[in-house]
Every structure is written in structure tokens, then in C-alpha cells.
Amino acid sequence: MSKRQRLLIIEDEEPIRVGLTDLFVFHGFAVESAADGPTGLTLALSGTFDLILLDLMLPGLDGFAICDRVRAVDRAQPIIILTARGADEDIIRGLKLGADDYVAKPFSITELVLRVQAVLRRSQGALAGAPSLRLGDLTLDTANLVGCRGAVQIPFTRREVAIIQYLAAHGERPVSRDELLTKVWGYSRGCGIETRTVDIHIAKLRRKLETDPADPRVLLTVRGVGYRLLVGSDGEAS
């Protein structure tokens, strides 16, 4: 019998927390939950969960602080944040802090389960590709999730490295955001889920990869098509 995947739900609203717990137990998960930020952080830092479902507005310690603290010690931990619908600034801030994806409240139960399954599916696959990549003036150690620009070290999340590796493996052509959602996030093709997570991750990557993010030379947008990564010693295709 396969081991059940472990899910941590950090949510202060009891009806939502209980409902989510019942939902994911029904779907075969082993679930633990927390109703406040400090308790949630303690559980999250235990490192024993396959995925954390994290509300942003919490008593005692908000979800932004929890995400930041978890990412400081574990850049591979899958995290999905729960936000209020239309709270674009919260979504952008949460993804910048390293969340893998987001779901806006009120959410569709089917969509939430699909997103959890997709993030888990991709996070449990081994990162494939070259052990290091030269991207402009930055060298990326893909195994250790860290880039070096001279003496400066820049941390990357597992999701960011997966995006880079997929783009690098298909450097001869632009890759659409739908293809990234399918191949990097693990969504089923044509699932119809609306999300800005690709765009926000790309913007975050540019701040790490580019000397001038406003004038990208490494991670390019091919208008109307998608994104292309130039791999080489000076940002030119190798």
C-alpha cells in the first residue's frame, strides 16, 4: 500500500479549515491543520509535509511571514497560498516570496484539488537537465538551487529552477505559458484554470537573471507566443 501524501492546512476560519481537511482526507491525504500563524509555522518548519496550503491572513503571524521563513530553510517545499479574490498585490507578494501557486477565495473545490495534485505531481519528479547553466553573468547550480554572480549568491526555488531547465531544454523555440503550466506546474492540458502564476514567476526570475530586468537579454518575451531563454557565457544562445 502506497504511503499517503501529507498535507498541512494553515487556515484560521474554522468552517474552511474543517471543510478542507475533510476534502483532502476524502482524496486520500494525511492532513494536519493549524488555526493561527505561530502554530502553523512550527508545523511547517518540521519539514514533514508534501505540501502546505497556506492562508495569508492569519492571527499571530501572517502567511507572508510563514512563507518567507519556510523558504529561508527549504527552497523545495511545495506551497500553495490562499488569497482573497482580486487581491492582486497579495498574490504577487506571495509568489515573490516563493509560493508555487495560489488559489483565490471563494474557490472551486475541483480547481483547488487539481492545483494541489498538479503541484505535487511536478514537485515529486526529479529535476532533469544540466547540473549548471551559464545565464548571462550568472552561473546557476541547479542541484543546490543557487546562482552565483561573482561573489554574490542568489537563492532560487525548486519551481524557478524547473522553469529555467525547461526553457533551456527548448531554447531553440519560444515556450508558451500554457506549455509551462502543463510541463512545469503539472496542469492537464486544456484544464481551463485561470492563473497569473507563470507571469509572476517570469517577472521574479528576471530580477534574478537580468542585469536590467526592464531590458531582458537572457529571459526574453516573444510577443504573442511565449518565453525563450538564451543560455551561454554572454546571454547568447550556445
Express each pLDDT in 71-98 by its tens digit.
Answer: 999 988 999 999 887 788 998 899 989 9
Q: What is the pLDDT of residue 238?
A: 36
N-term to C-term CA, the chain: 47
**Whole-number average pLDDT of the chain:** 88
pTM score, whole prediction: 0.78
User: What are the DSSP E strand ranges found in the chain?
Assistant: 6-10, 30-34, 51-55, 79-84, 101-105, 132-135, 138-141, 146-149, 152-155, 219-222, 226-229
Cell digits of residue 190: 486544456
List alpha helices for 170-211, DSSP H. 177-183, 197-209
The CA distance from 69 to 24, in Å, is 25
Q: What residue ranges of the chain have pLDDT lower than 70?
A: 1-2, 124-130, 190-194, 233-238
